[in-house]
Amino acid sequence: MVPFSTDTLIAHLKMLTDYLEYGLSEADFFRVFKGNHDAYEVGDAVSALEAAGYKADFGKARLSKLDPILFPVLVFDANGLPFLVLDRKDKDRFLVVDVSSGSSEPQIWRRWEPRLREARWILRVSRKHRSGEDYIARQDHWFWSAFRDLHGVYIQIILAAMVSSVLGLTTSLFTMVVYDRILPNEAVDSLLALVVGVAFALMFDFLIKNLRSRFIETAGKRADMQIAERLFNQLIALKMKARGGQNGRMTSILRDFEVVRDFFTSASLITLVDLPFLFVFIGVIWFIGGPLALVPAAAVPITLIAGLMAQPFLSRYASESSIDGQTKQAVLMETLTGVETIKTTGAEPIMRSRWNEAVKAQANSSGKTRLLSQGTVNLTLLVQQIAQVAILFYGVFLVRDGTISVGALIASVILAGKALTPLSQLAQVMTRLNKARIAYCQIDTLMEQEVEREYGRRYLSRPTIAGQIEFKGVHFTYDEVLGSILKDIDLSIKPGEKVAILGPVGSGKSTVARLILGLYEPNDGAVLLDGLNARNLDPADKTRNIGAVLQDCWLFSGTLRENIIAGRFKITDTELHQKASISLADRIASQHPHGYDMRIQEGGFGVSGGQRQTIAIARALIGDPPILVMDEPTSGMDVPTEVRVIENLKTWLSDDRTLVLVTHRASLLQLVDRVIVLNNGKITYDGSKEEILMLSRPKSSAVKEA
Chain residues binding Mg ion by CB under 5 A are: 510, 551
**Residue list 562-581, contact with ligand ADP (CB under 6 A):** none
Nearest CA among 146, 144, 142, 138 for reference residue 233: 142
Q: Which of 151, 402, 505, 574 binds ligand ADP (CB under 6 A)?
A: 505
In the complex, the smallest distance separating the C-beta of residue 241 from ligand ADP, rounded to whole angstroms, is: 9
**Between 448 and 552, CB nearer to ligand ADP:** 552
**Between 154 and 520, CB nearer to ligand ADP:** 520
In the complex, the smallest distance separating the C-beta of residue 517 from ligand ADP, rounded to whole angstroms, is: 12
The helix or strand, by DSSP H or E, that contains position 556, with its residue range, turns out to be none
**Between 244 and 276, CB nearer to ligand ADP:** 244
**Between 443 and 485, CB nearer to ligand ADP:** 485
Stretch that binds ligand ADP, among 49-57, 88-96, 250-258, 508-516 (CB under 6 A): 508-516
Strands (E), 546-598: 546-549, 558-559
**Between 486 and 645, CB nearer to ligand ADP:** 486
Q: Are 668 and 474 in contact (CB under 8 A)?
A: no
Other Cβ atoms closer than 10 A to 312: 10
**Between 241 and 437, CB nearer to Mg ion:** 241
Residues with Cβ < 8 Å from 50, sequence gap 6 or more?
Answer: 56
Other Cβ atoms closer than 10 A to 664: 16
Among all residues, whose Cβ is closest to Mg ion? 510
Q: Is 508 in the site for ligand ADP (CB under 6 A)?
A: yes
Residues with Cβ < 8 Å from 363, sequence gap 6 or more?
Answer: none
Stretch that binds ligand ADP, among 23-31, 123-131, 290-298, 501-509 (CB under 6 A): 501-509
Q: Are 366 and 318 in contact (CB under 8 A)?
A: no
Stretch that binds ligand ADP, among 323-331, 336-344, 346-354, 503-511 (CB under 6 A): 503-511
What is the DSSP pairing of strand 93-97 with strand 469-476? unpaired
The angle, 0 to 180 degrees and rounded to 10, between the axes of the packed helices 42-51 and 6-19 is 40
Total residues contacting ligand ADP by CB under 6 A comes to 12
Q: Is 633 in the site for ligand ADP (CB under 6 A)?
A: no
Residues with Cβ < 8 Å from 135, sequence gap 6 or more?
Answer: 129, 458
CA 530 – CA 97 distance, rounded (Å) = 33
Q: Is 506 in the site for ligand ADP (CB under 6 A)?
A: yes
Sheet holding 107-110, edge to edge: 54-60, 121-127, 73-76, 82-90, 93-97, 107-110
Q: Is 251 in the site for ligand ADP (CB under 6 A)?
A: no
Q: Is 509 in the site for ligand ADP (CB under 6 A)?
A: yes
**Pick from ligand ADP, Mg ion, none: which does 478 bind, CB < 5 to 8 A by kind?**
ligand ADP
**Between 551 and 679, CB nearer to Mg ion:** 551
Nearest CA among 220, 134, 232, 147 for reference residue 447: 232
Stretch that binds ligand ADP, among 8-16, 115-123, 505-513, 643-651 (CB under 6 A): 505-513
**Pick from Mg ion, ligand ADP, none: which does 88 bind, CB < 5 to 8 A by kind?**
none
Q: Is 626 in the site for ligand ADP (CB under 6 A)?
A: no
CA 496 – CA 542 distance, rounded (Å) = 17
Q: Is 635 in the site for ligand ADP (CB under 6 A)?
A: no
Stretch that binds ligand ADP, among 21-29, 124-132, 499-507, 593-601 (CB under 6 A): 499-507
CA 74 – CA 10 distance, rounded (Å) = 11
> 541 vs 29, 225, 517, 526, CA distance in Å?
12, 29, 11, 18
Q: Are 224 and 261 in contact (CB under 8 A)?
A: yes
CA 120 – CA 81 distance, rounded (Å) = 11
**Between 358 and 662, CB nearer to Mg ion:** 662
CA angle, residues 101, 107, 109, in degrees to nearest 5: 100
**Residue list 456-495, contact with ligand ADP (CB under 6 A):** 478-479, 482, 485
Q: Is 510 in the site for ligand ADP (CB under 6 A)?
A: yes
Q: Which of 234, 507, 543, 611 binds ligand ADP (CB under 6 A)?
A: 507
Q: Which of 373, 511, 583, 641 binds ligand ADP (CB under 6 A)?
A: 511
Q: Is 425 in the site for ligand ADP (CB under 6 A)?
A: no
CA 477 – CA 567 distance, rounded (Å) = 30
**Between 454 and 552, CB nearer to ligand ADP:** 552
Binding stretches for ligand ADP (CB under 6 A): 478-479, 482, 485, 503, 505-511
